[in-house]
Chain A
Amino acid sequence: MAAHTPSGTSYVRAQAVAPLPPPLVESGAIGWLRTALFSGPLNIVLTILSGALIVLIVPPLLNFLIFDATWSGADREACLARPDRPVVGACWAFIRERLGYFIYGFYPIAERWRVDAFFVLLTIGIIWLLAPTARRRTLGAIYFFVVMPVLACVLLLGWPAIGLPEVSTTQWGGMLVTVVVSGVGIVFSLPIGIVLALGRRSRMPLVKLFSVIFIEFVRGVPLVTVLFMASVMLPLFVPEQWSPDKLLRALVGVALFASAYMAEVVRAGLQAIPRGQYEGAMAVGLSYWRMMGLIILPQALRVTIPNIVNSYIALFKDTTLVFIVGIFDFLRTIEAARVDPKWATPVTSTTGYAFAAIVYFICCYLMSRYARDMEARLTTTHRR
């Protein structure tokens, strides 16, 4: 016993006392409530207010979306209030009947499997490229950027020679258009944006001038104007047979527009890299492109991931603007269907918009969720 107490005094405890559990008011549910929700007068007020807000909003929302909703029916009669059913919630029967239209637009029914096939190809490409455990990513990149676009073109546009009837882009619509427009915008805006950002910081006056003019010009006009110019002015100046397809015009407009914004995002990242990194890279004798590719861009892109994803999410939602040039994207198909006399009821519009909100939320939330995971994976070396 004495061996354990260096001083040999018997009143000194030789062993550490096992720690007591924290007091009940500081741990467990009560403790959590106290620290997280009621830790001060301001927080108490905020908690009560938010609680009241939740009670006020959530039950009616759930009632409308789920408990009072109509799940099946053949036409508007199913979603109308009747004496035995005075409160009518969301008319999901309408969404159910029109779901095909919301996904494929005017795409001929017999050919819709081609759109499904495109979605499958796209999903494979995305998973291959983005999943953290995926192997042979170079092959995946070749697939995603070369093989898949070609296959998608053949599938969606058709190639009569191999038995796929032609489907012109005026028949595309719904989710297909939203995915194609935002996909093209997302895929093209990053490389073009990087080139523009490098151009803007370049020491070559002509390159710099061109980049600055392009970026500032595009950022100086609203997307609606770009789309409108592309689809209204262009056909007036170009003969009919040379005039590009309407969807293609919108695609180019969206891609260029997104690139200008992306350029500024990337430039912010480039400027965040300390000068020493540039000087160090030059000191070991790397050429400009190798310096950028090996040292600067990997760091710059890493710090700008939140901003890049932010732009992507904004772009995904901005694609709804293509309706202004008569292209039926996902939201527009819902807007078109909600006026259908077969389904027009007091709740049809609300249901349509609620459905659109849910779908857009899921898509955008997945994007931001993935970005957060990726950030966590990449920033292990130096946390900021």
Chain B
Amino acid sequence: MKRGILTFGLAIAIASAAFSASAQTLNAIKQRGALNCGANGTLAGFGLPDAQGNWAGFDVDYCRAIAAAIFDDPTKVKFVPLSAKDRFTALQSGEVDVLARNTTWTISRDTSLGLNFTGTNYYDGQGFMVRKSLKLNSALELNDAAICVQQGTTTELNLADFFRANRMKLKTVTFATSTEAVKAYDAGRCDAYTTDASALYGERLRVANSNDHVVLPEIISKEPLGLAVRHGDDQWYDIVKWTHFVLLNAEELGVAKANVDAQMKSDNPEIKRLLGTEGKYGEALGLPNDFVVRIVKHVGNYGEIFERNLGQPTPLKIARGLNALWSKGGLQYAPPVR
């Protein structure tokens, strides 16, 4: 019965979402004067308010980039803090225009939940943190190690799978919350602590001597995080998707916050097309042709966003890893602007 009601509700939601397609998200945003962005609010580096209550983070900057493209003003965003439970409803019901809340892209979410994922802005996955003194170079050397993990999560299942697939012996020590698990790891009850890599770097700061601990390079599960929009408005889907792609292209072509004005005069045809001095690619999206200039001027390129929120200047110090550009050994690859 409950399931029936839920399905019914979902069906209505999807139907109404499809119906509102004609309402044109972009026009609604322009009329409202602000982008409604569903954000996390509790994940270090991705979406977190600072001491003044200003939103900051990797996903947050994506919303600012979209606002910059539309309004030439990255502050015209209304952030709606969403919990993991109500995030999809908020998007389906139109409460937010875009969901930038470290959401894993899966087939069920992409299809039956009525979402469109606009690319992977962060390749996440499960990693391990160990003491430097163990002198480990790879997770494959963790045979017979005691590993702290949070109970009843996919993390626990992935861990068992990884050890079974590599024929290693596993001793798990499980805890109800991540706080307890980290405490136990810090107290020496386990040799390693495992959770999603993006969170792992944050947890590292909560142990007594963070410099004595390292995150191993192996990522043992696929957690592609991305921004999502509703089904039914292809123009809006394209705008969010290409905001991500132009951020990557800007980094690849060396267009950054500091040099974007100088790059406007560049003779490189790729840069010319990217910055809108040649061609009318912005117009096709319903945006001004120089929308990339606006984005890069206000928020920077992908690399700058990454470094500012997650990279070496921050306490998190997350390595680019899988999120390096394809030309630098990573997975971030964007279709060309032409």
Contact = CB atoms under 8 A, between A and B. Distances in A.
Interface of A: 76, 81, 97-98, 100-101, 104-109, 168, 170-171, 173, 228, 231-233, 235-237, 239-240, 243, 246, 323-328, 332, 335-337, 339-342, 344-346, 348-349
B49 A323 contact: no
Contact of B95 (A246, A335, A337): A246
Given A336-B41, A346-B207, A231 B86 contact: yes
Given A97-B51, A109-B53, A344-B315, A237 B80 contact: no
Q: Please give me the 4 A-B residue pairs with the lowest Cβ-Cβ distance, nearest first.
A: A235-B93, A344-B205, A341-B315, A240-B94
A250 B115 CA distance: 26
Interface string B43-78: 111001111110100000000000000000000001
A97 B51 CA distance: 6
Contact of A340 (B44, B92, B94): B44
B42 interface: yes
A170 B37 CA distance: 11
Contacts of A81: 208-209
Interface residues of B, number: 44
Given A345-B205, A346-B207, A100 B51 contact: yes
Interface string B1-25: 0000000011011001000100000
B86 A341 contact: no
Given A232-B86, A233-B9, A236-B10, A328 B51 contact: no
B305 to A, nearest CB: 16
Contact of B83 (A101, A107, A326, A339): A326
B224 interface: no
28 contacts: A76-B205, A81-B209, A101-B52, A101-B53, A106-B49, A173-B53, A235-B89, A235-B90, A236-B13, A236-B92, A236-B93, A325-B85, A325-B86, A326-B41, A326-B80, A326-B81, A327-B81, A332-B42, A336-B42, A336-B48, A336-B49, A337-B49, A339-B43, A344-B202, A344-B206, A345-B206, A346-B206, A346-B208
B202 A341 contact: yes
Contacts of B123: none
Contacts of B52: 100-101, 109
A100 B95 CA distance: 27
Contacts, number: 118
Which among B10, B87, B93 has the highest number of chain A CB atoms within 10 Å? B93
By DSSP majority rule, is chain A's interface helix, strand, loop, or mixed? helix
A355 B49 CA distance: 19
B42 A240 contact: no
Given A109-B53, A231-B86, A336-B49, A243 B93 contact: yes
Contacts of A345: 205-206
Contacts of B314: 341
Nearest to A109: B52
B16 A239 contact: yes
A339 B85 contact: no
A324 B78 CA distance: 20
A236 B16 CA distance: 9
Nearest to A332: B42
B186 interface: yes
A326 B101 CA distance: 12
Contacts of A109: 52-53
B201 to A, nearest CB: 8
B78 A168 contact: yes
Contacts of B86: 228, 231-232, 324-326
B130 interface: no
A340 B316 CA distance: 10
B82 interface: yes
A182 B52 CA distance: 25
A227 B337 CA distance: 46
Contacts of A349: 179, 206
B280 to A, nearest CB: 33
Contacts of B82: 326
A76 B335 CA distance: 41
A344 to B, nearest CB: 4
Contacts of A348: 206
B51 A101 contact: yes
B95 A339 contact: no
Given A326-B86, A326-B87, 12 more contacts: A81-B209, A101-B49, A105-B53, A170-B81, A237-B9, A240-B94, A324-B83, A326-B82, A326-B83, A339-B48, A341-B205, A346-B186
Given A240-B93, A339-B48, A341-B45, A323 B83 contact: yes
A349 B316 CA distance: 17
Interface in B186-216: 186, 202, 205-209
B306 interface: no
A340 B94 CA distance: 29
